[in-house]
Chain A
């Protein structure tokens, strides 16, 4: 049998393959990590963004090798802590005023529009009560469930119902004042409540997706306050370049597509740009 003279030896081939795979896998992360002084970034966000942020943080960590120390909770609570003595490097808050207050208090260096939320009616599959509009929720005898004692959905619900002029009639149909919108969802799915109002993002959580009917609500009924999410770099950012890079990632096409998939309106979509102008989401 003739021995093969040309070409790569088996051992060289294997070494090359391992080295190439390692370089392809670790290269981008190492390259990114070298750009920054810090190897981790502390990020706080409104709890409503948590599902989307978890996906984006995992991707960002994979791309850059930077560890994201992430906390997601009710933005007003986190904002209150931040306006007090708490510290984080990047903050994604809900409600434009909070971002402006943090800027005014010189705790935040700058902010950018991140995304917007929108409200929808949900019903059990098959829509047994034939709900088509918010006005239908006011029909006598339609059992509705509203997360009125949850924050922030409760105040937004009431804003929508008052704007539609049906708050008293819908409250008369309300089975009970739910304290948690996530805890309420199974009771709509199982038909205990025949309708509710939630943010669209709730209908995109894997556990609930495809298990309720989703009916849009006209935008003119939305209270403007809770619609806006911003992302800002705090003055406590240890590595400003890293914080900026993370903010740029959240505003990138890739991350904005994740927000859209999770039920938000991306700020750089046509509708998002319209809302940026309409709601004045601009850093002074």
Chain B
């Protein structure tokens, strides 16, 4: 007899559409994402692209920088934190790593209640460094160069603080092998920003009053979240998981 998860996966084509979309967005955004982590000379990546000395970065040589932030804003207005679940290349990597992680942490307890505050701590730190400290350049930028050899040179000539920042990020992604989606659920500053903004979104996935708190939706969620609660990214994976059909998608404030 299929369990709740298998049943939800087989009956919800949206999950496959989402995964395909994630891979498509990986093709569009991945190079910029990996530049941000491995070759961006600033402590907070993705925010100074237009004045970055790295000539070959995709965020700079295309209109990706402005297009990305505009797209992100639009996505937040309509669907809250949907970027995390549908478009973020880092999110896809984390979710794939999460498939083999030891602890899925799809439960409600004190830890999963408190740990998401890490998103806001990450956001606060990023804002302080970006605006308060003018986002210092902390690594010798490899302005032009082949991708992998440039990464090697970047690490070779980076300052201690840049190395600390980069290894913390990479370490938290690797720690996703222990706790599924650790970075996305408990540390990502962008996720923290979207988490704050999502309450103003027009549409969302939500629970109706028929919800009996069985947590079937939580068991299927890669982010270990329930609809319209902290870390819900409106990914849609849970839409077919509810045994009492209490999960809906629609306009904010128009609950059926």
A contact set with B: CB distance below 8 Å? 47, 50-51, 53-54, 69-74, 77-78, 80-81, 149-151, 176, 178-180, 182-183, 185-186
Contact = CB atoms under 8 A, between A and B. Distances in A.
Question: Would you list the 7 A-B pairs with minimal beta carbon distance, nearest first?
Answer: A71-B145, A179-B137, A180-B137, A72-B144, A77-B157, A47-B143, A183-B51
B51 A186 contact: yes
Contacts of A150: 137
Contact of A72 (B41, B52, B143): B143
Interface of B: 41-42, 48, 51-53, 55, 134-138, 140-146, 149-150, 153, 156-157
Contacts of A74: 140-141, 157
Contacts of B144: 47, 50, 53-54, 70-73
B152 to A, nearest CB: 9
A183 B48 contact: yes
Q: Which of B53, B137, B143, B150 has the most CB of A within 10 A?
A: B143
B51 A182 contact: yes
A164 B153 CA distance: 37
Given A71-B150, A149-B136, A182-B52, A47 B141 contact: yes
Nearest to B145: A71
Given A51-B55, A73-B143, 14 more contacts: A69-B146, A70-B144, A71-B144, A71-B145, A71-B150, A73-B153, A74-B141, A77-B153, A81-B157, A149-B136, A176-B134, A179-B134, A183-B48, A183-B137
Contacts of B52: 182-183
Contacts of B136: 149, 179
A77 B140 contact: yes
A81 B156 CA distance: 8
Contacts of B42: 180
A70 B140 contact: no
B55 A185 contact: no
Contacts of A78: 153
A159 B143 CA distance: 25
Nearest to A70: B144
Contacts of A81: 153, 156-157
